[in-house]
Amino acid sequence: MLINEIRPQLMPFQYPWAWDEFKNLCKNHWLPQEISMASDIAQWKNQGYLTQDERHLIKKILSFFANTDVLVGDNIIMAIYKHITNPECRQYLTAQAFQESIHSWSYSHIVESLSMDQQEVFGEFKKVGTIKDKHDFQAQFFEGILNEGFTTKTKEGRALFLKNLCAYYVGMEGMQFYSAFVLLLNFKRRNLLVGTSEQLEYIVRDESLHCRFGTKLINQYIEENRDIWTPELKAEVSKNIEHVVELEDAFVADSLPRDILGLSRSQFARYIRYIADRRIESIGLDPIYGEEETPFPWMNEIMDLPKEKNFFETRVTEYQTGFGLEW
């Protein structure tokens, strides 16, 4: 069982898929300071590279990212890990929490390298606005699990815990992160902010693994708790996904007041709905928006295909440590 079962021994595995996902995650290791930010610094300081609208967008995205990985990490350690008692799943969760810390370091490294106002960027989520709205929506699912009386031994508690898993693995890591990724990675297609984008490419690969594990975890949890997976809870999860889409629409309207080269608000609207449909289908629910094709096929290439680069110019972001390589 995933919950309510104390099982101190790791082997034999109850969930071999969780152990496989843990090993896949451990193949990936990188550090932000290994990536050169020299060209990014020059482009940020020189007014000829980026328009004011583009600078506004970049700051907004970094303000969103600056605290979200902290929230995700806190949720893993203080909420999910506490109640998912299976050992191999816990192995994965600790590895994921470490990666979220690396991601937080990466965003801090970018902000510091570009000499941005740290208080402005890292304090944005506390102010009234679209970033705070996104933060507060996710935080409610985390705070519900932290309540002193919470337990997964009641039907209501098990349902609330499932809503937490869906909110974080589907809504935040599966949707909100990807919408921000596509906004920022668009600059690399114009040879802008290459160092920042290279770090984002590493993070995208990490997050794709987090989403895959989260989807499997949710489906396993549902399989073991069929009594809570009622039409009412399914409708509530779907409604939460719709609200995430609304929050992303508002965030982009705030961050991208006018279209920029290679990116329009109408394209983004299609993309977040395409992502929403794929995520909700992955946990056995019907798609909401009917978006069958992504307007940004290059994002699939970033997530799925190996990178061939000049080794002396930049690192290959399709990375694995030595023990994970096949000869």
Q: Is 69 annotated as a binding residue?
A: yes
Q: Is 53 annotated as a binding residue?
A: no
Q: Is 286 annotated as a binding residue?
A: no
326 CB neighbour count, 10 Å cutoff: 4
**Rounded distance, CA 185 to CA 288, Å?**
26
- Nearest Cα neighbor of 173 from 295, 258, 76 is 76
Q: Is 242 annotated as a binding residue?
A: no
Torsion 18-24-29-30 (CA) sign: negative
Q: Is 100 annotated as a binding residue?
A: yes
Q: Is 210 annotated as a binding residue?
A: yes
86 CB neighbour count, 10 Å cutoff: 21
Q: Which residues pair with 263 in a beta bridge?
A: 260
DSSP string, 153-212: TSHHHHHHHHHHHIIIIIIIIIIIHHHHHHHHHGGGGGT-SHHHHHHHHHHHHHHHHHHH
- Catalytic residue numbers read 107
Q: Long-range contacts made by residues 290-295, C-beta under 8 angstroms, separation at least 24?
A: 294/270, 295/267, 295/270, 295/271
- Helix residue ranges, H only, 76-151: 81-83, 87-113, 118-122, 130-146
Binding-site residues for Fe cation, please? 69, 100, 103, 173, 207, 210
Binding-site residues, please? 69, 100, 103, 173, 207, 210
